[in-house]
């Protein structure tokens, strides 16, 4: 039985690293017994959160997964700030930030931007799978 634990991953804020963040979150979710469909939703949420943080120009990504009785919380912290990517040539064709975050909120109702400053922090949670009792 897992009472309380935290798992984390630090990555540079590089678009090439978003897949690594997704894979980490998916593996943690799968390891903790989260259902396959929810794992796919988690991957999408993490990808959108990383995209938002990178678009805002953070330097590093800190992904923290907190495991507690009843819930698994995913928190992405964007650390440091440089020039935002929002003005880049093709970025204007992407979903804008509010639409991107609304997409995640439709999957995880408790999804929230915890801090909009520095650090930039996004958080959402999923119910922890029930642990079989002996």
Partner 1 sequence: MMSPERALTWVTYTSRAVRKEVSIDLELRTRTEGAWTILEVVGEVDLYTAPALHDRLVAMIDGGTRSLAVDLQGVGFMDSSGLGVLVGGLKRLRENGGQMSLVCREGSTLKVLTVTGLDRVFPIHATVADATAS
Question: Residue 113: how many CA atoms within 13 Å on its side-chain side?
Answer: 18
76 lies in the site for partner 1, by CB under 8 A = no
Nearer to partner 1 (CB atom), residue 65 or residue 121: 65
- Which of 54, 76, 121, 122 forms a contact with partner 1 (CB under 8 A)? 54
- Widest CA span in the chain: 58
- Give strand pairing partners of 75: 64, 123
Do the Cβ atoms of 53 and 78 come closer than 8 Å?
yes
Reference 50, options 118, 114, 97; nearest CA is 97
- Which of 38, 79, 81, 107 forms a contact with partner 1 (CB under 8 A)? 107
How near is the Cβ of 116 to partner 1 at its closest, in Å? Answer: 19
93 lies in the site for partner 1, by CB under 8 A = yes
* Cβ-proximal residues to 119 (8 Å cutoff; 6+ apart), any chain: 58, 62, 77, 78, 79
Do the Cβ atoms of 58 and 120 come closer than 8 Å?
yes
How near is the Cβ of 115 to partner 1 at its closest, in Å? Answer: 21
8 lies in the site for partner 1, by CB under 8 A = yes
Q: What residues make contact with partner 1 under the rule CB under 8 A? A: 1-3, 5-9, 15-16, 18-20, 22-24, 27-28, 40, 43-44, 47-48, 50-51, 54, 90, 93-95, 99-100, 103, 106-107
């Amino acid at each position: 039985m897992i009472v309380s634990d935290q798992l984390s991953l630090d990555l540079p804020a590089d678009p090439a690293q978003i897949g690594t963040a997704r894979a980490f979150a998916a593996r943690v979710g799968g390891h903790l017994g989260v259902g396959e469909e929810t794992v796919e939703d988690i991957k999408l949420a993490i990808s959108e959160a990383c995209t938002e943080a990178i678009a805002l120009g953070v330097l590093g990504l800190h992904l923290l997964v907190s495991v507690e009785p009843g819930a698994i919380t995913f928190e992405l912290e964007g650390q440091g700030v440089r020039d935002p990517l929002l003005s880049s040539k093709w970025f204007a064709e992407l979903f804008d930030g509010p639409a991107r975050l609304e997409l995640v909120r439709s999957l995880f109702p408790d999804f929230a931007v915890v801090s909009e400053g520095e650090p930039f922090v996004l958080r959402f949670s999923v119910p922890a799978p029930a642990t079989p009792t002996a």
